[in-house]
Amino acid sequence: MSDKQEKGKLGEDAVCAELEKRGHAIIARNFHKRTGEIDIISAVGQYIVFTEVKTRKLGAMVSGLEAVNFSKKKKIVLTADTFITENRDLLQKYPFIRYDIAEVWITRGQLPGITRINIVENAFDTEGIYTAN
């Protein structure tokens, strides 16, 4: 596993633990389709939540929120559409959809550790996604 993959897994594991503390049930991790990948799919309240995790070392030039540009959002939404199509039964219990972004900061060095997690609920919506080329 590469350094980038290890850093990503560390961040995703930490976010899953935090989401579970907040009452989320984790439905899937690293859901891959032709349109893209979703890091974490969970359910809480009446929502199916699609969470993009961005893990950064302290002092990174670009924040996790900034790293999720329009192109990445479009991939997430289209992949979420596929997930919903394949799992329509979930909409009976969870009729609403939400897109969150989790920013994870880790220390630099041989043994990186989590220093902070910021989960931004409703970080974006589908406005412009379906009409953009």
What tens digit of pLDDT does each residue of 14-70 get?
Answer: 999 999 999 999 999 999 999 999 999 999 999 999 999 998 877 777 888 889 999
User: 100 Cβ partners below 8 Å, 6+ apart?
Assistant: 49, 50, 51, 52, 119, 120, 121, 122, 123
Note the pLDDT tens digit of each residue in 94-131: 999 999 999 998 887 666 677 889 999 999 999 888 88
Tell me: pLDDT of 12 over 90.
yes
